[in-house]
Structure 1
């Protein structure tokens, strides 16, 4: 059992993935990108940091995959991101209502689903694009889109835009920053933490603020009724 948790811990370390798996690192990357949105347990996977690290090790990925241009690597990753969202959509479409009645477990917390739904209600269909850059929301947004029976054609438009903008922006950022600042690899952990913080904090802050406004409105309405 300890070996399993050790493997999970290593799996959350992007640097380890690229050093340990070597020639097969791209396939691990594709599997993680797909799983992150294909099922509700994918929220803990390191999507952003993994893409950024993939950009840094882009040349190695190209060499280990028939020497294709880095542009093709990004397109392949985007394709698997799109597939993951489609799977997440159908998961929500088939069992969305059941998920709200599902008991909490280590891999599933109902509160994550509710937070993502609040985010989706606030930003509507564009949440599918925005959520690509936000851990947790990235996993649950396609599930919620399926649960509310969002038009599949409309879903696919936002799905493709979100996947392409996410993969290209983060992987190219890692790729070109490494070219200009080769010592970037030595401080990868801090950069990853900065990425997670800057993308997650503003959204959580807005959601908490909007929830406080709603609760204050309810309190004021109750006072008016009492008066």
Structure 2
């Protein structure tokens, strides 16, 4: 079996794959879900694994009695928090070594320090919002660790964001995942959950780069 085609199909048809797994393996589905959420949030090279759509489908399956709602939310919340902690720890371990680097084409100490200051001031909001943004949620805890964000502060926002993300999306799936219109258009909903946050991130990055270019141009004119 080719891995990439399978992953792509799993992401777009997570409802069918998950239903098959529950029917075939029963309670082992909880271990699989824990692993997927942990890896998606805890391993910086795995941002493509399903997150939002998976939680939504889990909620829908809880709504029809195929899975237990309380157990699902508890396990996936633990996976999300522990995954972020793992990602943060990796970044924090790398951070002190990176900070010893000299300025070069690949590293800028001033930018590193700015990242640290940003995460101390506004990193909490970033960690919470990132939970709802595919790809970004995988990198945000890693960057927070590299930027040496305080562990206690990171943990508070990690737990808060994890509770809102897992509890919120699973609950929405529980109440609305089995509505006929939602089931009929689930593939489009999954694409939207992936695409819309991604477009917002790209727009934000483009806007930030444009503002930075304008600021640089203003400095040049002032000189």
TM-score by length of 2: 0.79
Name the structure 2 match of 1:133: 132
Change (3 A) 1:99 1:220: same
Name the structure 2 match of 1:108: none
TM-superposed CA distance for 1:71, in Å, is 2.7
1:50 aligned to 2:54? yes
Name the structure 2 match of 1:12: 11
Which has the larger helix fraction?
A: 1
1:148-198 deviations in Å (ceiling 9; x for gaps) = 22111111100000000001111111111135x234222211011122233
Partners of 1:82 and 1:132 in 2: CA distance:
11
User: Structure 1 unaligned runs (5+)?
Assistant: 101-113
Name the structure 1 match of 2:34: 30
Name the structure 1 match of 2:21: 21
TM-score by length of 1: 0.78
Name the structure 2 match of 1:185: 183
1:150 aligned to 2:154? no
Partners of 1:192 and 1:96 in 2: CA distance:
35
Structure 1 counterpart SS, 2:134: coil
With 124-133 and 201-210 compared, the bigger mean Cα shift is at 201-210
With 139-148 and 15-24 compared, the bigger mean Cα shift is at 15-24
2:211 is aligned, of 210, 213, 218, to 213
1:33-182 correspondence runs (5 A):
33-59=37-63, 63=66, 68=68, 70-96=69-95, 123-179=122-178, 181-182=179-180
Root-mean-square deviation over aligned CA pairs: 2.7
1:62-121 deviations in Å (ceiling 9; x for gaps) = 655xxx4x1332121111100100100111112247799xxxxxxxxxxxxx9xx79x76
Partners of 1:189 and 1:17 in 2: CA distance:
13
Structure 2 counterpart SS, 1:57: helix
Partners of 2:213 and 2:181 in 1: CA distance:
48
Structure 1 counterpart SS, 2:47: helix
Structure 2 counterpart SS, 1:191: helix
Change (3 A) 1:214 1:128: same
- Structure 1 segments (4+ residues) deviating >6 Å: 97-100
Partners of 1:162 and 1:31 in 2: CA distance:
19
Partners of 1:140 and 1:187 in 2: CA distance:
30
Partners of 1:9 and 1:97 in 2: CA distance:
37
